[in-house]
Amino acid sequence: MNISTVIGARPQFVKAAVVSQALKNAGIIELIIHTGQHYDEKMSQIFWEELSIPEPHKNLEIGSYSHSLQTAKIMMALENEFAHTKPSAVMVYGDTNSTLAAALVASKMNIPLIHIEAGLRSFNREMPEEINRIVTDTLSSLLFCSSDEGVKQLRKEGITVNVFEVGDVMYDAFERFKGPAISSAELYKYGIAGNEKFALATIHRPSNTDNLNNLTQILGAFSELDYMVYWPVHPRNKINLERVVLPKNIRTLPPLSYIEMQSFLHKSAIVFTDSGGLQKEAYWARKPCVTLRNETEWSETTKNNWNILAGPVKENILKAVKKEIDMNSWKRLYGDGNSAERIAKKVKEFLVNG
């Protein structure tokens, strides 16, 4: 029972930290292939050290290219790798180019594909990630959904065999590393006082960072807040910051490690994001979240104003900030912190029984 797991971006590293341990406990041999899609040290290597992820069997060191070229380069490298290691199955997470590339290669080589976080949809096909999700789910032999919404969506698309609701492995990681994150003194390293009220922001989608009007709208909203906004900046977005004047209450930061990011999250007053994962993490940390998009894959978080879809519109963002949340409305979403164990059990059954 041996599988190859293909990962290449920070959220996938976090998920691998809990799933890889569960696979090992289940007696499954796993070879991790790091595509190098995220190659900055703070966006890659430090995650291995901080989260005790098993060292990758291979780092393809692909780097940054256009979506098509990056996917093609990963596919070429994976074809050689799978031909050499002959895995019984290939495991992928989420919706990155690394995920799509692995799905296509596994399919063409007749290797069963396992997809974690299956069934997610934003229903916005202008997002490259949406295409990646749909294709990967269509090609998968074993599909693990974070909630019943994913199961329902796959059923609508005619995918019903080997589909399981297991919860979210990101919640497993959130619970496992919550203690170190809360007790971390990392914020002091960035000059943040213990009682300071601040917002955490992540803005990385090209639809926001490459679109000057959208970026200006977002920054304009931030400028009217009476507290600091801390923004860890993705390396690809540094050039975009040269096109705008940052308000005085925005402080950009280098990419943060997982523990650093969780520490900022737990001690923030509010979250602004256009990512997917941070919407869930904000909910789990019981922080109000303003999503700088018009859609979300995590519709359950939008109930009771926990997560408000404001889009990149200044007026909507400022309105969202003023919305009140009934803290008693919070309830557990996306599992109980044992998703990885459920996945490992199902994977073992699949490998044994076919």
Residues catalogued as catalytic: 204
Please name the residue ranges forming H helices in the chain. 10-25, 45-51, 67-85, 97-108, 128-139, 148-156, 169-176, 178-183, 186-189, 206-209, 212-223, 238-241, 258-267, 277-284, 314-321, 339-353
Q: How far is CA 85 from the centre of its chain?
A: 27
Question: Which amino acid, residue 119?
Answer: G
CA distance 246 to 341: 45
**152 - beta bridge partners?**
none
Written as six digits, the tokens of 265 are 């999250």
Angle between helices 277-284 and 169-176 (to 10 degrees): 50
Q: How far is CA 84 from the centre of its chain?
A: 29
Nearest to 272 by CA among 328, 235, 228, 237: 228
Name the 3-class secondary structure at 142. Answer: strand
What does each C-alpha distance from 236 to 34, 63, 84, 219, 254 come to in angstroms? 19, 12, 33, 18, 12
Identify the burial level of 235 via C-beta atoms within 10 angstroms of its C-beta, where 0-12 means exposed, 13-18 middle and 19 or more buried.
Answer: middle
